[in-house]
Copies of this chain bind each other. A is one copy, B any other.
Amino acid sequence: MKKDIGAGKLALYPTPAVVVGAMVDGKPNWLLVAHVGIVTHSKLMLSMFGKHFTNAGVRETGVLSVNVVDEALLPKADFVGSVSGAKQDKSDAFEWHVGENGAPVIDEAPLYMECRVEQTVEVDGFDNFVCSIDATCVEEEYLDEKGKVDYGKLKPVLFEMPGYTYLRCGERIGRCLKLDGE
């Protein structure tokens, strides 16, 4: 028996929790974001409230990093989600370096993407940054024999808003279009 829990009740979870990095006034700032999406087959989207400190840096530099969070990185990622860079300098929350495209990236992240803002879609005060990907760097242990990311090994931390919790990425069910075996 289904219950209608109302309008505007977003239930498209869980989603990967990522740390977005951007230079703000010449220093790196970090923001935990899980309202993310995929656009086309090669771009991503980040939905970030326009007043976030990080957004100003993204708008100014046009580049950012998307750092995937695993369980080892979660305590630090959770921390940067708790306090605004406008109130507290978060530049040293992680070991980091400047990526090839100029965005700060997190050394400890199992995988990061260096991204470039292609388009910003404003909706209800949120900047929805549609980004192309200049480079994707991943710890070699998480690549399979074909050189692709193995999500059976790299288990990104997931987020869901209604309960405000983090979830583990589970095991593989099967291959698309070959569920009954290959």
Contact = CB atoms under 8 A, between A and B. Distances in A.
Interface of A: 1-16, 18, 34-45, 47, 66, 68, 71, 74-75, 78, 81-82, 111, 113, 118-119, 121, 123-126, 128, 130, 132-140, 143-144, 147-152, 155-177, 179
Contacts of A37: 15, 35-39, 45, 47
Given A66-B12, A123-B39, A149-B11, A165 B171 contact: no
Contacts of A39: 35, 37, 45, 47, 121, 123, 126, 128
A72 to B, nearest CB: 12
Contacts of A81: 176-177
Contacts of A75: 179
B162 A149 contact: yes
A137 B12 contact: no
B12 A16 contact: yes
As for how many copies of this chain the complex holds, the number is: 2
A151 B134 contact: no
B36 A47 contact: no
B136 A130 contact: no
A30 to B, nearest CB: 15
A173 to B, nearest CB: 4
Contacts of A167: 151-152, 169-173
A152 B157 CA distance: 14
